[in-house]
Structure 1
Amino acid sequence: MILYGNEHKDRVEALATVLHEESRAVASLARSSDGIVPVESADAILTVWGHSGDATKFSEMLDVEFGVLIQAWKKKNPSLKSVELITCDAQHNTVPLAGYAKRVAKFVEEKYKDITIKALPVGQNPDDRSILWANAGTRTFCYITSPSQETFNHANQRLQALGPTYHNDLSEVGNAMAKERELSTPNNFTVNFGGFNNLRASLNVIKS
């Protein structure tokens, strides 16, 4: 099952087609006094794609709200083994337990120790900037991290400049950017890229 936050419908529907899974909007789920109500799903993986608004929100859900949903999802669907956060900056933070993904993992572990939480990787530093670009038409993605605003701006400009050259195939764009990468500013960014079928392979396990 793949859930999505605001503005991610097209990307998630493309991902769902590639992975042969069902997709639903987080906003379409019922609410009760106990929080967001889970739906039945036989999938061992729950994927959620959305914005990280700040250190406390993801896909319009506060960290505790998302943690409660995962626990409720597991209770209703015992086959659940893994939860994936598809977003940028779910981990970046220098303060212990301040990263959204880590806090959610810690919360869920209090009740279920057999659920693995995953998110896109941290860059070269705990407080790096990151952005996830994804194109529903080509079903490709490119995830960029950078240690400074200057590098971040440059990497984003390069991605947008290269896009038309490669017909918005972000896998090809990412490959081209990887060849430009250097150890000094403004090319000291990192890139992860590929087709939507490879997106899950780019995720890292979050250790609470």
Structure 2
Amino acid sequence: MTETDTAARRRGRRPAGEDTRGALLAAARTEFAERGYQGARVRSIAAAAGVDAAMVNHWFGGKNGLFVAALDLPVNPEIILTRVLEGDPDTAGERIVRNFIAVWDASGGGAFAALLRSVATHEAAARMMREFVVNVIFRRLTHALGPDQPELRACLCGSQMVGLGMARYVVKLDPLSTADADTLAAAIGPNLQRYLTGPLG
């Protein structure tokens, strides 16, 4: 391999016009499905894609961004976490519902509904959904709010929101499927709040 070839590889250029971003996504889906979010390594993904690890930051801003892109979901976890944590901790549950509904409704359920349909029959999809809901969103949220039993609370919150997504966009239970965000936030938010910061006994 010449010095020119080596330099090109480091910059993320791929032979025969292959797409660096697409190669990273393909490698990431395999890595996340096999190892989960916590176990996946950016360097391993980049190596499988044949590019430098710096390309992950260049294209996706880091591991979180790569994971979300690999799932093909219209959700930026950093924005959701920032919005939820900005206000009163005692009303975080309502803000979670409003933010998720706003994101999901903007795409009509879209890729989230497609992933939910795959969960029951594809273990890789199920694992990636678990990793996204628990590790990327709610584990970070419960640790930031500082309650006891953060792992259990993260799973409880995840179960509530996955269930809501399933009922609203896949099963389409009416009137839950057509209710506005304020109605759902008022109805479901208090339960999420108990999962986040209330007594679990």
Q: TM-score scaled to structure 1, two decimals?
A: 0.27
Q: Which has the larger radius of gyration?
A: 2
The answer to which structure, 1 or 2, has the higher relative contact order (CA under 8 A, 6+ apart) is 2
More helix by share: 2
More strand by share: 1
